Amino acid sequence: MKNFTYVLNPTREEIGNISEYYDFPFDYLSGILDDYENARFETDDNDNNLILLQYPALSNYGEVATFPYSLVWTKNESVILALNHEIDNGLIFEREYDYKRYKHQVIFQVMYQMTHTFHDYLRDFRTRRRRLEQGIKNSTKNDQIVDLIAIQASLIYFEDALHNNMQVLQDFIDYLREDDEDGFAEKIYDIFVETDQAYTETKIQLKLLENLRDLFSNIVSNNLNIVMKIMTSATFVLGIPAVIVGFYGMNVPIPGQNFNWMVWLILVLGILLCVWVTWWLHKKDML
């Protein structure tokens, strides 16, 4: 490959040395030090160009977030890739490039891999969401809601990043067409279409997760209400024998106290009342 530089987790001093060596603005690379840097496309007076896009990767908190990726090509045809979080760049380094068109091919390969990484994560989110849908019906635990919140947080990052990436890609396409690079612009437009598809799927999955979250809350509340209803009804039914036994346990003359079989009559009466009350509560859908 011609003049190609790959920078991972650089310090500000290293960024300063690189930008000074290639003679482009310091902020072309320093943007990757801020995880919340907005995507953008810039060209300076020396014909150095920057495409800063957002790419997905696992964060330190275990969720999938988006981070800035600087792609710079200079007036002397040098290409610099810089990022602050590791990503699988196997397809970029293993590919053989045409000496005359390597700059365009590297730019396309980076954008292609980045877009498909979004799609891979979206496919994983879709699988996890379906698994949640299957296990949520009888759930009264918090495991599902925690996973749901994690997916939703990642999709919110995706929605913003993909929207910004689409604007940058559109600006880049316009720039290429003004520079009579229509052939390359068409290839970048294919990336734009793939990004737009990922953006649309992200919005759909967010809506589905919002509905699933509401459903989960309703199911958990309903299951809790059922448990409380059963406990209340059981307490009421079991209180009937206690009332009868308590009544006949008073230290005053009561009917039937001289009969030896009275204890069995009280026991049978209590059981019958419990059975009847249970049947009546079930009939009224209160049990």
The Cα 268–Cα 75 span in angstroms is 99
- Cβ proximity of 64 and 58 under 8 Å: yes
| pTM recorded for the entire structure | 0.74
Question: Three-state DSSP class for 253?
Answer: coil
The Cα 143–Cα 28 span in angstroms is 42
For the segment 138-150, the average pLDDT, to the nearest whole number, is 70
- Cβ proximity of 37 and 31 under 8 Å: yes
Q: Is the pLDDT of residue 36 over 70?
A: yes
**How confident is residue 1, by pLDDT bands cut at 50, 70 and 90?**
very low
- Strands 79-83, 4-8: pairing is parallel
Query: Which of 60-74, 151-165, 207-221, 241-255 shows the lowest mean pLDDT across its residues?
Result: 241-255
Extract the tokens encoding 285.
């859908």
- According to DSSP, the residues that pair with 64 across neighbouring strands are 58
Residue 274 pLDDT: 77
The Cα 236–Cα 230 span in angstroms is 10
Higher-pLDDT residue of 280, 184? 184
- Cβ proximity of 273 and 281 under 8 Å: no
The Cα 28–Cα 71 span in angstroms is 8
Residue 222 pLDDT: 73
Residue 274: CA count within 13 A, CB half-sphere:
17
Query: Which of 63-72, 138-147, 151-160, 267-276 shows the lowest mean pLDDT across its residues?
Result: 138-147
Nearest to 50 by CA among 69, 35, 76: 69
The Cα 204–Cα 192 span in angstroms is 18
Residue 17 pLDDT: 92
Residue 255 pLDDT: 67
Q: What percent of the chain has pLDDT over 70?
A: 81
Chain segment 101-121, per-residue pLDDT in tens:
778 888 888 898 899 999 999
Extract the tokens encoding 150.
């994690």
Q: Is the pLDDT of residue 180 over 80?
A: no
Look at domain 2-220 and name its CATH class: alpha beta
- Polymer length of the chain: 287
